[in-house]
Structure 1
Amino acid sequence: MTVIDTATFAQDWATWHEEHERRRASTHGFLAITSIRWLGEEPETYDDVPGAWSTGAEGIVVSLAPGESLVVDGQVVTGRYVFGDIGRRGDVTAEFGDAVVEVARRSGSDVIRPRHPDSPVRVAYRGTPAYQPDPTWAVPGLLVAYDVPVPTTVGSIVDGMEHVYEAVGEIEFEIDGTSHSLIAFPGSTPGSLFVVFRDETSGRTTYAANRSLSIAAPDADGNVLVDFNRATNLPCAYTDYATCPLPPAGNRLPVAVEAGEKMP
């Protein structure tokens, strides 16, 4: 049996969470978003981003007035600029002054989200509480991979919106001797996994809609570590301008996972 040094475990968690908080509150992170704009065929202007924005056969287009400009891929652009078809869940970041605008496609719709360092949400942010790190919530798991990825439709924090992700398998694990499983999607790095879940703390001590968990790539036998101490809130816990996914039906755990981040 592996003996865990609780002091080292706690310090590693603290280092990780400090870095996670730093990214969350970064100059142009999700806390800096000032609006979300759903683009249509008629060009529209907004008070927190330069230009008149629209979408159509060419994809996303911005028409910049005299004196307005954006920086895209290091190049200053003026006048009419075509971002084109961003692609499903794709995004491009354009800069202006000390702010940026995220140009993206979400669930079949084209959107922009300006991000300003002086956003009231970012300025007021004082951190997210979390359960004290506890090694008993870092449990071994096994990825039972699907033969081929399975398109899985999940809801969104935005009413009427749906997301489709390619589920790669189910992670099986035990809590207090009882077997559980979570549907896993591809993570942000090659081979890694991403899980969105709810549990019996949801809406009580943790954010009601969802929490997320990143899991390192499994070994050759499919073994993984499911460390609920690193369960984090998605952006929708902090801003109304997010389109976060809701957990798939199978990812509602009938236990209180008293680990990870709490309600903001």
Structure 2
Amino acid sequence: MTAVEEDLTAEWAAWHAEREDVLRAPHGWLSLTGLHWLDGEARAYADLPGTWRAADGGAEITAAAGDDVSVDGERVDGTVRVEPVDGKPGVLVAVGERRVEVIRREEHVALRVRDPQGPTLAAFTGVPAFPVDAAWVVSGRFSPWDEPRRIDVDTVVDGLGFHPTAVGTVRFTLGGEEQELIALGGDGDELRLHFRDATSGDTTYGGGRVLRTDGPAEDGSVRIDLNRTLNLPCSFTAFATCPLPPAGNVVTVPVEAGEKTPV
């Protein structure tokens, strides 16, 4: 192994350990134990205290002081309203040691229950991944669109759409074949490449995986390290609402790099 390969492997190992630490968070994706879609009728759900209902794009929560339900650190005693934003992380409502995330997806409102004692989190032993290989680090070229565009994609929930912001395309060569993917905006100037390939549904998650890159250089070049390709939350839990890749975002060669299907 060359010095470059040793550095790449060591940097990946540190990154991967941090990634697994995030997944082990008490109220992270692995803590999910339920997903409940609300309607306009005030109802009790599973073992949650009080009642919950959808109301004009938000949710109304009715609870008594003894129910141990809190919003923004304030104990609920009566009815309160929370207003999640479509497609964004939800509003967290504390119910004892659990957190109920109130989310909005298009016109729908749901409760996602996060329990630090949940079985998926308790059983987690790590994320399997392909061996690190420098061959999966390539240079790409980002071509920005004149203006970011709101695009429509499907999700893992039948009939539910998602509307991310796309900012341009990234082109690169892999396995001797030219690739072109729609790039989504991320944090700051980072890009997100959400794609499927020939491993999807076999050794990797069928809904595709996502790669975050640093922002493009001034000349538009982008470093693409496919060893850092990530699973989406829906590969770990049935209680997430992950988007699917943009239409046409398919890499034409098997990407045997990055995270494999969780076991």
TM-score range normalised by the length of the shorter chain: over 0.9
Question: What does residue 36 of structure 1 align with?
Answer: 35
Superposed counterparts of 1:198-213, under 5 Å: 198-213=196-211
Cα distance, 1:159–1:57 mapped onto 2, change above 3 Å: closer
2:220 is aligned with what amino acid?
G
Query: Secondary structure of 1:123's match?
Result: helix
- Deviating more after overlay: 176-185 vs 50-59: 50-59
Query: Cα distance, 1:191 vs. partner?
Result: 1.1
| C-alpha separation in 1, matches of 2:141 and 2:221 | 5
1:70-92 CA distances to partner (integer Å, 9 max, x unpaired)?
Answer: 23223333221111x32222321
Query: Cα distance, 1:25 vs. partner?
Result: 2.2
Question: What does residue 218 of structure 1 align with?
Answer: 216
- Equivalent of residue 244 in structure 2, options 243, 246, 261: 246
2:178 is aligned with what amino acid?
S
Query: Secondary structure of 1:44's match?
Result: coil
Contact in 1 for aligned 2:5/2:134 (Cα 8 Å): yes
| C-alpha separation in 2, matches of 1:58 and 1:244 | 20
| C-alpha separation in 2, matches of 1:208 and 1:101 | 28
1:30 is aligned with what amino acid?
W
| C-alpha separation in 2, matches of 1:80 and 1:224 | 50
Q: Is there any run of 5+ residues in structure 2 with no aligned partner, and where?
A: none
Question: What does residue 230 of structure 1 align with?
Answer: 228
Q: TM-score normalized by structure 1?
A: 0.93
Query: Cα distance, 1:156 vs. partner?
Result: 0.7
| C-alpha separation in 2, matches of 1:212 and 1:49 | 33
1:215 is aligned with what amino acid?
T
The reply to whether residue 115 of structure 1 matches residue 118 of structure 2 is: no
Query: Cα distance, 1:118 vs. partner?
Result: 1.1
Superposed counterparts of 1:73-92, under 5 Å: 73-83=72-82, 85-90=83-88, 91-92=90-91
| C-alpha separation in 2, matches of 1:4 and 1:39 | 55
Q: TM-score normalized by structure 2?
A: 0.94
Q: Is there any run of 5+ residues in structure 1 with no aligned partner, and where?
A: none
| C-alpha separation in 2, matches of 1:66 and 1:58 | 25
2:190 is aligned with what amino acid?
S
2:10 is aligned with what amino acid?
Q
CA RMSD of aligned residues (A): 1.6
Question: What does residue 53 of structure 1 align with?
Answer: 52
Identity %: 39
Query: Secondary structure of 1:199's match?
Result: coil
Query: Cα distance, 1:184 vs. partner?
Result: 1.0
Query: Cα distance, 1:47 vs. partner?
Result: 2.7
Contact in 2 for aligned 1:143/1:224 (Cα 8 Å): yes
Contact in 1 for aligned 2:105/2:160 (Cα 8 Å): no
